[in-house]
């Protein structure tokens, strides 16, 4: 049986649960703010609370792998359980790992996150294309087989990114636009939405590129980084209906109170709906 593509599952989740991705970023200062120790016990309590509060109601949960990896194998075990429990509660899990390599190494990353037999199998994973878009082929193929998706870095909100992403290629396009054009080609003909998404910072103002890739657009930067849902139409224009805004600290700072976490996520989702409806 052919699995339902990620793009179709994401479209349904956004339409029914609201267009929002909440990051699970258990860095030390946030654990401390929750009254937890910056150790494996604190990591377990933080992650369990976040999943319990949000996995049955938000469209996407995005654990940042690095914050689990820093605790070694015990941290990875916490991550594995979080992925399993979040998916069981109905959230789509986007693993924020930003992997990028070539050949068999890229294939191993694909097997880690995009093979249904892997304990870290996720609905989607973030990837870096700056070894060449073609280097992502093992992950693109694995995702297609398993019904998963990928989100490829295009225009990130960090200032340093511009020196690479805004550089000009031989044909006059920016490198970011070249990557977006590759994504559009991968998504050609997909309905209702392709499964190859782009990462485009919500803090960029006018992105200055063609974002019509027939795929989802992950927009980090909402909340603590300064962007608001009202900024989305200005950045994404006619593609704003395919935006998955990502907020982490803006929601997580309300923990460990479960009700407060839920209320914050619901408020962000409603603000995004209102901003998109105004187009």
Neighbours of 192 (CB within 10 A): 13
Q: Is 182 helix (H, G, I), strand (E, B) or coil?
A: helix
25: nearest Cα among 9, 7, 43, 3: 43
Give the C-alpha separation, 125 to 221, whole Å.
18
Give the C-alpha separation, 161 to 155, whole Å.
7
What CA–CA distances, in Å, run from 44 to 18, 20, 24?
Answer: 27, 24, 12
Q: How many helices (H) and strands (E) does the chain have?
A: 12, 8
Active site residue 116: no
Q: Are 136 and 129 in contact (CB under 8 A)?
A: yes
Q: Is 140 helix (H, G, I), strand (E, B) or coil?
A: helix
Q: Are 235 and 219 in contact (CB under 8 A)?
A: yes
Residue 240 C-alpha from the chain's centroid: 16
DSSP 92: E
Please pick, among 62, 81, 98, 116, the residue that the annotation labels catalytic: 98
Q: What amino acid positions are annotated as catalytic residues?
A: 98
């Amino acid at each position: 049986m052919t699995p339902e593509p990620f793009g179709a599952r994401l479209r349904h989740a956004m339409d029914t649960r609201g267009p929002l991705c909440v990051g699970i970023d258990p860095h030390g200062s946030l654990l401390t703010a929750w009254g937890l120790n910056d150790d494996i016990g604190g990591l377990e309590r933080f992650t369990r609370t976040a999943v319990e509060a949000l996995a049955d109601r938000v469209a996407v949960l995005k654990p940042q792998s690095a914050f689990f990896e820093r605790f070694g194998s015990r941290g990875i075990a916490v991550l594995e359980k979080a992925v399993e429990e979040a998916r069981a509660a109905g959230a789509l899990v986007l693993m924020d790992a930003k992997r990028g390599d070539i050949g068999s190494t890229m294939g191993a990353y694909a097997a880690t996150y995009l093979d249904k037999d892997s304990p870290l199998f996720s609905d989607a994973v973030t990837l870096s294309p700056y070894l060449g878009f073609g280097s992502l082929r093992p992950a693109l193929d694995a995702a297609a087989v398993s019904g998963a998706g990928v989100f490829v870095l295009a225009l990130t909100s960090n200032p340093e990114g511009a020196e690479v992403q805004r550089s000009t290629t031989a044909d006059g396009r920016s490198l970011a636009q070249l990557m977006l054009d590759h994504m559009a080609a991968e998504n050609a003909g997909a309905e209702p939405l392709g499964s190859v998404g782009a990462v485009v910072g919500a803090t960029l103002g006018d992105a200055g590129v063609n974002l019509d890739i027939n795929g989802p657009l992950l927009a980090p930067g909402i909340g603590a980084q300064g962007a608001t849902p009202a900024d989305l139409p200005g950045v994404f224009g006619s593609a704003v209906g395919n935006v998955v805004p990502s907020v982490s600290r803006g929601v997580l700072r309300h923990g460990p109170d479960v009700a407060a976490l839920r209320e914050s996520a619901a408020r962000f989702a409603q603000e995004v709906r209102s901003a998109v409806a105004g187009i």
